[in-house]
Structure 1
Amino acid sequence: MTRRSTLAGVLALSTGLTLAGCSSSDAPELKVMGAFMPQPVNDMAAAFLVVRNDGGSSDRLTSVTSPLSDDVTIHETKNQAMRMVTSFDVPAGGELDLERGGNHIMFMKLKQQPKQGETVSVELHFEKAGPMKVDLPVKETTHNPKKQ
């Protein structure tokens, strides 16, 4: 092996590692924490969770799907009024907090009534990151982790 081919190999390897390092640190790195659904009392339900982004770029939650309902939307709450939105930002190095009294996931026309102790499957869809499956434990109707 010549000195020139060895140098070319070392340069190619270090360039590849540098590019890989840049691309992975610039990508969103999402994880979900604290997910739950209060036990519904009618044919509607809400879900709450935190999406943490430890990556170097922001992302957006664009939709949620679930076998529990064909009508799952994301809602923001401002001035005690809620309205459907098309997406939520998940900032780089930050969190999207869907919580009681604030932004949340809304299920309409439930196909069944989940009970406390069961889980509800959802799939979160993001603009950049791939879909993420999450199991929501069904808690008592009044459950609020922020007040414990």
Structure 2
Amino acid sequence: MKTTALTLAAACLPLIAAAAEPAPTVADAYARSANAHAGAAFMTIHNPGAADCTLQGAQSTVAERTELHGHKEEGGVMKMVKVESLTVPAGGDLKLERGGNHVMLMGLEKPLKAGETVALTLDFGPCGQVPADVPVDNERASGAPMSHAGHDMAPAAGHHHGAPATADAKPAN
């Protein structure tokens, strides 16, 4: 009986250690929309833990759906693409920024207005769920502008950008 209890306790140690890891944190977050149909959220995610955390998705009540997006080159053109996940390295940061990886808010219930806050829940799987209150700032300047001029940002539309492809994104199937 004592051996069974010790074996069970030893088997649970990795679970206890994983539960003790600090959750990822969000800093410098903001959301913006180029039109009334879609918007995006940008932020820096810090992983204080000793193991990588994978951002698997996000949820928000302001949009019909949310998607993780990155960029890839096709035929010499950078295209925004849905990605399955984004990795936040152990002890490191992941920047979600204009012209790069970001959380896409598709099918907005109403246009995003400056001064409002978008409630997001970021899903890191085993690393936990992280709520984030993201202020809307449609005027925020960026070193990598997210221009949607001439592109329809309706929920099913494709998007093209002039930003470098990201290496930490896993394309969606």
Does structure 1 conserve the Cα–Cα contact (< 8 Å) formed by 2:40 and 2:102? yes
In structure 2, distance between residues paired with 1:124 and 1:29? 11
Cα root mean square deviation, aligned = 2.4
For the pair 1:44 / 2:42, whether they are aligned, the reply is no
- Amino acid corresponding to residue 70 of structure 2 in structure 1: E
Match of 1:94 in 2: 92
Question: Shift of the alpha carbon at 1:144?
Answer: 2.9
Partners of 1:138 and 1:50 in 2: how far apart? Answer: 16
Cα distance between partner residues in 1 of 2:42 and 2:117:
13
* Residue in 1 that maps onto 2:141: 144
Aligned length: 127
CA distance, structure 1, for counterparts of residue 62 and residue 92 of structure 2: 29
Q: In structure 2, do the counterparts of structure 1 residues 26 and 131 end up closer, same or farther at CA, with 3 Å as the change threshold?
A: closer
| DSSP 3-state at the match of 1:60 | strand
Q: CA deviation at 1:129?
A: 1.7
Question: Residues 93-119 of structure 1: CA distance to partner in whole angstroms, max 9, x if unpaired?
Answer: 111110011011111111111210110
TM (norm. structure 1) is 0.76
Q: 1:28·1:92 contact (CA, 8 Å) conserved in 2?
A: no
Q: Which one has the largest radius of gyration? A: 1
Is residue 127 of structure 1 aligned with residue 121 of structure 2?
no
Q: Secondary structure at the match of 1:115?
A: coil
Pairwise CA distance, 1:40: 4.1
The answer for unaligned runs of 5 or more in structure 1 is 1-18
Unaligned runs of 5+ in 2: 1-12, 145-173
Does the CA contact (< 8 Å) of 2:30 and 2:43 recur in 1? yes
How far does residue 92 in structure 1 lie from its aligned partner after superposition? Answer: 0.1
TM-score (norm 2): 0.66
Match of 2:67 in 1: 73
Q: Distance in 1 between matches of 2:34 and 2:119?
A: 15
Please say if residues 52 and 90 of structure 1, whose CA atoms lie closer than 8 Å, have aligned partners that are also in contact: yes
**Structure 2 counterpart of 1:59:** 53
Name 1:117's counterpart in structure 2. 115
